[in-house]
Structure 1
């Protein structure tokens, strides 16, 4: 096992000054030859266990040291390492391209699998719920000493310790702010300015961990900034924890995000399989995982709606474009590469780790209207056959330790990239969690092995330029760095020098590399009157992206940009008009309306992010601003509205449009589609009048009765329940809890042993034609060939995603590893009936879908108890009456489906 021995020999050279704990098993790593990377680049092993264990996140400082957050005490292994987890510091002291020094910066009992570490000179920021902790290494000896150094909790109130959907890493932005994000566990925190943020949603005590707040109790409540946010969010703030600003929300679990030098935020996000994504985050926008009042997307899923569009609510107003939805996976760390050793062509590359697929994806986002075109490529890959294993989206399971092709090789599918970062030397560094399993709140590698790989041009010699932040020249050098947080230290140092730094900053703005040059623009508003004047001049730049950054720089610096927004609102660039609209957010309607009207006039009728920027700019004043738009556009008779104005009305959900929408819904002059769209628009207005209007459309047998009934039922038992529709719904028979007769549906747990095994099936040759006939038994629960419900996972591409062996296992023993998102629950009713199925909505009524796709609404008052099932909802092969040959035939058929 040469690569295992190589790892051990290599690791033995490390200076293990923190040998407080050793894993019980020998460390392992994937051989570097197993990776495919772009032509001209090579992969080398920079560090490996025991220099580091279970890396969850990393950052790289100006000296090239890599700081690693470790998760030895992850999930069910909490307490495995006494004294808590640690932040480790690894260094290549002799410059040979391999770490030869490793020690502990800090270790605390309260550090339990922290998911973020950010290094800003001698300031180290650790993300450990419920706290965001800042350690200042006062004596700069790279070891935290509580008697000398400083430890401060700058923010607290982030939910769920030892949970992947909680607080993630902090990174420095080009504007001098610190950026961080948090998963959908939610938060209730107060910044140093005294503003309290209530980040709520319908996710509570899911997936284990230690929970500090009940985010469901704050769902639908505004924060002190006056806006309504949901769990799963991004924020930026001053480094002292003041002036926090939420800049995106409605995520499921964005593991990390990256802000580039143009101020654009990109991230990935996880999914209840299969709709993971990589996207541009529209400022202040919602990704759509939760509704406005914090309900799960499943509670408002439309009939026959594509899962990806439903998961990110892409057909609802109030969400930004989901970007690239690529399917199942387990996305982790990201970074945006701008300059460095990989050359100019690599500039502008967004890299996103995908641990479930053993790859790192790459994108070079291109401006497309008010958003970005995201074309996906595979940048680093250890999965050569495209068969995935050990991940939720393929039913769980685990990857075998040894490779199929060579028993002396570590299986390359154990590569689980947890983070990717850029060094000050310009190379790319990738942290490997290394495990047979990813997701499902599990880790199966008892050796806690981890590795850091370096990807650089062949023959690369690392060089980390010495940086002196006390001099203007040194700060400029830092601002030029490929490493994002090193750049931040340069920005911060130059900002403190004020107008003295202006000549050097202006010189930097003329750099031939656009990514480096644009960094200077962010500093200009902070460099005295002359710097401010130069920034204002750039608002007239012929280069639209320079103009955009100048506008953003002034806004982030607290300058009045209203006049500039008026100019941008009529600019030919949709991106500039988008930012003009967003800058109206929070302004009185009499100021915001003129700018938003100009932006709205220039909407192409289809750009989702553009329309959403208008809605975000109008937030809290939608009715007044829509009225001003109606008067400005003079559409007259509501039956004569253009389709684009109808869609603007849909997005602004104005209470002042209720009568007009009702008229459109009832008009025989409009098409069915136009009438139905008016009903849909009405359903998103959070107003008693809208609920009453919808009820009238249902009970008066109008042209839109069927559509209105569907929306009324969804809203009347959801977002509109507060308007007291229960009595009216019951009186009309639309929904009367007293008359509901629940149907009992139970799924019996199969015997532990079946009449045949997985091995028996794998020995057989399958026949696809016979398998097509056997597949008829699957449509009771699975969507197959346009038949069957969307109850179990969609079988299209199922075998190709997870491989034949895992498919066989899932059919023979479905309870062995239940796919995430398809866990069952049991409802015991007060009348003694029992219902097994998947909880679609946990409001009142509870909505449960059971075997066969049977969906029932169950009033909470009829439910005695509810609990999660320990076995799968799927019947095993014996229960389905399948023989071993039937299973072999079925899998053979599904290989090509």
Structure 2
């Protein structure tokens, strides 16, 4: 829950008696706003299910739900453990009439993911990704009956934590994809590959950790690359062949792969910067520094806004941030390709946003190597956007008197979304008034599954016997993505017997259904390859792209290298970028021709294209730059083209240091070109780059301040290994306090002199409030004055009800904004330093009241622990009266 202060309640695991509600607070259906011609109905509700965290659809049209009754501070309210339930509409009337428990066990503690593949059920339950096999297919998991529980993978942090292990989803290639939030992990797959997902985010106050993410931050995984926590993985269904297909997330709740092979996901924010994104294969989302040891705030550059800084959009090596829409708490995603909703909805990406009471929709449009993502409200109970109960608006439930027309329309909390085998869309609703903040207000733990379908819809789930070609084809054409996997697997193994049927599917008028056939062609020998080759002559770049991806993912049956060499000069930027990505794990002699060809076609603008090239270069970026310099002959450093300068910025070659230094210091170039050269130097981890910046910092030039800033940032950041502090100090560049100063936040008052109600009873004066805002400058920015320490005040009051504004000033310790939790560092021989830890390594950087930032060597730290109160002083401590607070509230409403 976000307030002007910086604080989050520390929640206990106190148990109490809990009785499930028989009358869940379902919403009036007229509360929903959705597209013309569609209607929403309550398909299932408590007591058939409780607190739905995730769901999946099986081939029979049943919906499987994981429950989170034992969520956080109420982790013991159901002693027998959480459950997986199966919901059915047995009479086909459009509502569920049967609920059965597949498994209940103390091991289940708010699991966040479920995937059903026939009689195999994958459950995401930290520290394990579990594989449950219902051997006798009776819909009840019981090891005494011969059912099998297997720890498929283990080592995932975040027991009963939202930023943990999420659901498995099947791709059109037959691979499985899942992700882990930024609590991090270290696991070994079944082919022996070990993956280390480290970072600086640790919250063991509310969750158990199984791997030391700080210790493994920056360490390489078995594939030779270092990845940050918050990552997505693709692997074979037998647990082998794992690849990291994206990392550096904050907390992506789910990902979806459409039938052309594009991966989409949403991601949570720190302060308001939630987003929906196309995920470039292997891309870094940017939440942490490259070595994982610093959160974004530690590296926020002067003048950057929060979305740019949080997702490091001006750093080389990060993928485009997609649609950044502000505060929220994104959850499940789905991609609608076919079904009951009609042609207008084909190709729709759906993203749940419970913090905003909405499911967003997008029709992703390929643009260069990336996507345009134009957001719409697909279904919402809150079209007026009067938000309530979410972190970014203060978290508390509104008083009933403030509700629209006396109706409580604020509780729609879509935790997941899926397309059913009947072609309708199903939404799981958590129903709680609170979202985020590690809290829940609904003691009934109620839940609802809503269905969206055309008016008058009659549901029909096709009968499919996947052991037959016809049944497998029916499964492959299913609107439900994990059901499609069953058809793919059967047809892949059917060999010649399925070839004719697959060719017929390739002619389907729905492009997504037709695309599903493409991925099977490599498994049909020479004739399948011939059909695949024919697809590369098609005008549609999506078809050519899917064909190449099918080659890349066909278990080594065909080497894609010769195809990549041809496609490196394709007319489509997306296909050229894909050719580059295929080079990632190859030696440079193999990859050289493709990478150079792709680089030569770079237009200097397409960020997705450039990032794909950099990711494809992999560990060969130095060699690639030198080869490009030789081939492209860019001329003298001051004559480089913008595309070549950007290529250098992304590839970060040590061989370019002297040239970049010349560009940065040249008066022939624009300030923008010189700044780019400085930024490029700052990301090259070698002494020569540091020396170049030191020389630039001593010059009187437009890049002087930028060079100084980077050196002060890097001295305790990624260049800490160089031990530059003494050199910078001697040359007058180091901007640090001389010696560590103790700074403590006073204890909060034992009692308050006035209440929120006292303030709300007064009439506020906005002009006087503006004058009083000077007291905020020690911690907040106000009209470019003050300190960038606490949350931004700009727009804050416009998003919050008056009672939340008043409480955040009167008692800021009531709740704390995520990302602004304080710490106490006890420094030997100095005392306590209170503040925000903004980087944690051999040197801990902490920012305290007034924006004072200190670097404290870890060897001097006796203890470090969470602060039990806000870093912001209360109204009493600031000497504010009730009238003063009323005036500040009035000013904040329009600031």
**Which TM-score applies when normalising by structure 2?**
0.94
1:869 positional shift: 1.8
Structure 1 residue 109 displacement after superposition: 1.8
C-alpha distance in 2, partners of 1:750/1:437? Answer: 26
| 1:169 maps onto 2:167 in alignment | yes
Taking the TM superposition and a 5 Å limit, the aligned residue runs for 1:703-714 are: 704-714=703-713
How many angstroms does 1:223 deviate by? 1.1
Q: What aligned pairs does 1:552-567 form with structure 2 within 5 A after superposition? A: 552-557=549-554, 558=556, 559-567=558-566
Aligned counterpart for 1:188 among listed residues 163, 186, 189:
186
The equivalences for 1:48-447 within 5 A come to 48-146=45-143, 147-206=145-204, 208-295=206-293, 296-399=295-398, 404-405=403-404, 409=407, 411-447=408-444
Asked if the contact 2:766/2:888 (under 8 Å) is kept, the reply is yes
Name the SS for the 2:269 alignment partner. coil
Find 1:818's aligned residue among 816, 824, 831: 816
Residue 28 of structure 2 corresponds to which residue in structure 1? 31
Shift of 1:291: 1.8
For the 8 Å contact 2:712–2:735, the answer to whether it is kept is: no
Deviation (angstroms), 1:290: 1.5
For residue 829 of structure 1, the aligned residue among 827, 830, 841 is 827
Given the alignment, which residue of 877, 886, 889 partners 2:887? 889
Give the distance between the partners of 1:148 and 1:140, measured in 2 at CA: 11
1:331 is paired with a residue whose SS is coil
Q: Distance in 1 between matches of 2:660 and 2:395?
A: 48
Displacement after TM superposition at 1:406 (Å): 5.7
Matches for 1:456-535 after TM superposition, within 5 Å: 456-535=453-532
Aligned to 1:573: 572
Paired residue total: 875
Q: Contact 1:28 / 1:49 at 8 angstroms: preserved in 2?
A: no
After TM superposition, the structure 1 stretch with the greater mean CA deviation from structure 2, 772-781 or 490-499, is: 772-781
Query: Deviation of residue 590 (structure 1)?
Result: 2.2
Match of 1:7 in 2: none
SS in 2 for 1:540: coil
Preserved CA contact (<8 Å) 2:119 2:135: yes
Whether the 8 Å contact between 1:500 and 1:527 is mirrored in structure 2 is no
What is the deviation of 1:99? 1.1
Q: Is the 8 A contact 2:38 2:452 kept in 1?
A: yes
* Distance apart, 1:321 and its partner CA: 0.3
Deviates more, 1:111-120 or 1:710-719: 710-719
Give, in angstroms, the shift of residue 397 of structure 1. 2.8
Query: 1:846 Cα deviation (Å)?
Result: 2.5
Give the whole-Å Cα distance in 2 for the aligned partners of 1:104 and 1:524. 40
Q: Which of residues 877, 880, 895 is equivalent to 1:879?
A: 877
**Residue 613 of structure 1 aligns to a residue in which SS?**
helix
Give the drift of 1:832.
4.1
Flag the 1:60–1:24 CA change in 2: closer, same or farther, 3 A: closer
Q: Secondary structure at the match of 1:603?
A: coil
Q: Distance in 1 between matches of 2:783 and 2:679?
A: 30
TM-score by length of structure 1 reads: 0.94
Distance in 2 of aligned mates of 1:763 and 1:494: 70
- Classify the secondary structure of the residue corresponding to 1:89: strand
Aligned partners of 1:403, 1:100: CA distance in 2, in Å? 36
* 1:613 shift after superposition: 0.8
**How far 1:403 sits from its partner (Å)?**
7.2
Aligned-pair CA distance for 1:844: 4.2
Deviations 1:679-732 (A, max 9, x none): 221121123433344345446888855433322222222111123334434544
Q: Shift in Å at residue 783 of structure 1?
A: 2.1
Residue by residue, what CA displacement relative to the aligned partner does 1:63-114 show, whole Å, maximum 9, x if unpaired? 1111000111121222221222111111111111111111111122211111
Secondary structure, aligned partner of 1:660: helix
Per-residue CA distance 1:7-35 (angstroms, 9 max, x = gap):
xxxxxxxxxxxxx9843786332232222
Q: Secondary structure at the match of 1:127?
A: strand
Tell me how far apart the structure 1 counterparts of residues 401 and 92 of structure 2 sit (CA, whole Å): 33
Q: Which moved more, 1:706-715 or 1:575-584?
A: 706-715
Match of 1:783 in 2: 781
Alpha-carbon distance in structure 1 between the residues aligned to 2:179 and 2:859: 38
Instruction: Work out whether residues 177 and 239 of structure 1, in 8 Å CA contact, stay in contact via their aligned partners in 2.
Output: yes
SS at structure 2 position matched to 1:57: strand
2:10 aligns to what?
none
Tell me which moved more, 653-662 or 824-833: 824-833
Does the 8 A contact of 1:387 with 1:803 survive in 2?
no
Distance in 2, matches of 1:23 and 1:479, equals 39
Q: Deviations over 1:112-140 (max 9, x none)?
A: 11110001122111111111111122222
Where does the alignment leave 5 or more consecutive residues of structure 2 unmatched? 1-16
User: Which structure ranks higher in relative contact order (CA pairs < 8 Å, sequence separation ≥ 6)?
Assistant: 2
Q: How far is the alpha carbon of 1:747 from its aligned partner?
A: 2.8
Residue 648 of structure 2 aligns to a residue whose secondary structure is helix
Contact 2:259–2:516 under 8 Å retained in 1: yes
1:606 counterpart SS class: coil
Bigger mean CA deviation after superposition, 85-94 or 716-725: 716-725
What is the SS of the residue equivalent to 2:885?
helix
- Do the aligned residues in 2 keep the contact of 1:399 with 1:437 (CA within 8 Å)? no
Matched, 1:806 2:792: no
Residue in structure 2 matched with residue 9 of structure 1 by the alignment: none
Residues 26/425 of structure 1: CA separation in 2 closer, same or farther (3 Å cut)? closer
Name the stretch that deviates more: 789-798 or 669-678: 669-678
Q: Secondary structure at the match of 1:124?
A: strand
The match for 1:653 is 652
Give the equivalent residue in structure 1 for 2:13.
none
Kept after mapping to 2: 8 A contact 1:397/1:817:
no
Q: In the TM superposition, what is the alpha-carbon distance from 1:622 to its structure 2 partner?
A: 0.9
How far apart in 1 are the matches of 2:870 and 2:806? 15
Task: Tell me: CA distance 1:811–1:384, structure 2 relative to 1, closer, same or farther (3 Å).
Answer: farther
1:812-831 CA distances to partner (integer Å, 9 max, x unpaired)? 22211212112222333334
CA distance in 2, matches of 1:818, 1:759: 21
Check conservation: 2:741, 2:830, Cα contact below 8 A.
no
Q: Deviations over 1:189-224 (max 9, x none)?
A: 111111111111112345521111101111111111
Q: 1:719-769: per-residue Cα shift (whole Å, max 9, x none)?
A: 1112333443454454498x7234444332332433322112222333333
Distance 1:734 1:25 in 2: 68
Q: Distance in 1 between matches of 2:429 and 2:77?
A: 20
Tell me the CA shift for residue 674 of structure 1: 2.8
Matches of 2:772 and 2:531 in 1, distance apart?
Answer: 72
User: What corresponds to 1:608 in structure 2?
Assistant: 607
In 2, are the aligned partners of 1:440 and 1:820 still within 8 Å (CA)? yes
- Distance change (3 Å), C-alpha of 1:541 and 1:723: same
Pairing of 1:727-876 with structure 2 (within 5 A): 727-732=726-731, 734-735=733-734, 740-876=738-874
Per the alignment, in what secondary structure is the counterpart of residue 169 of structure 1? coil
Asked if the contact 1:395/1:818 (under 8 Å) is kept, the reply is: no
